[in-house]
Amino acid sequence: MAAIEGVLALVVGLLLAGLILFFTFLRRGQWPTFRRLPALEALSADIGRSVESGTRLHLSLGNGSMYGPEASATLVGLAALSQIAKAGSVSDKPPLATSADGAVTLLSQDVYRVAFRHQRAEDRYDPLLGRIAGLGPLGYAAGTMHTAPDEDVTATFILGPQGREVALVAEAGSRRGDVVGGTLDPVAQAVLYATADHPLIGEELFATGAYLKVNRAHAASVQAQDVMRWVVIGAAVALAVLGTVGIL
Partner 1 sequence: MKFHVSVVVAIGTGLLTLVAYFVPLAPLQAMRAALLQIGAILATVALLLGAGNLLSVHARKIRDGKPGHLYSIFLVISMLSVFIMVTVFGPQSPYSVWIVTQVQQPLEVALTGLLSGVLLIAGVRVMFRRPHWSTYLFFLAAVIVLLGTAPLPFVAIPFLQGFRNWLAQVPAVGGGRGLLLGIALGATATGLRVLLGLDQPYQR
Q: Is 106 a binder of partner 1 (CB under 8 A)?
A: yes
Q: How many residues bind partner 1 (CB under 8 A)?
A: 77
The rounded distance, in Å, linking the Cα atoms of 200 and 207 is 10
The rounded distance, in Å, linking the Cα atoms of 194 and 60 is 18
Our CB check for partner 1 shows the closer of 25 and 242 to be 25
Q: Is 180 a binder of partner 1 (CB under 8 A)?
A: no
Our CB check for partner 1 shows the closer of 52 and 135 to be 135
Q: Is 82 a binder of partner 1 (CB under 8 A)?
A: yes
Q: Is 154 a binder of partner 1 (CB under 8 A)?
A: no
According to DSSP, the β-strands at 178-182 and 153-159 are: parallel
Give the one residue of 149, 213, 234, 239 binding partner 1; rule: CB under 8 A: 149
Q: Which window, 29-37, 40-48, 49-57, 162-170, contacts partner 1 (CB under 8 A)?
A: 162-170
Sheet of 198-200, strands arranged across = 130-132, 96-99, 56-60, 153-159, 178-182, 198-200
CB of 114 to partner 1, least distance (A): 5
Q: Which window, 40-48, 49-57, 126-134, 238-246, contacts partner 1 (CB under 8 A)?
A: 126-134
Task: List binders of partner 1 among 6-65 (CB under 8 A).
Answer: 6, 9-10, 12-13, 16-17, 20-21, 24, 65
CB of 238 to partner 1, least distance (A): 15
Give the one residue of 50, 63, 89, 105 binding partner 1; rule: CB under 8 A: 105
CB of 226 to partner 1, least distance (A): 9
Q: Is 176 a binder of partner 1 (CB under 8 A)?
A: no
The rounded distance, in Å, linking the Cα atoms of 90 and 102 is 26
The rounded distance, in Å, linking the Cα atoms of 108 and 238 is 44
Give the one residue of 168, 180, 188, 212 binding partner 1; rule: CB under 8 A: 168
- 10, 113, 169, 225, 241 from 230: Cα distances, Å: 18, 40, 35, 9, 16
Sign of CA dihedral 190, 191, 193, 194: positive
β-pair partners for 132: 99
Helices (H), ranges, 26-101: 38-53, 71-88
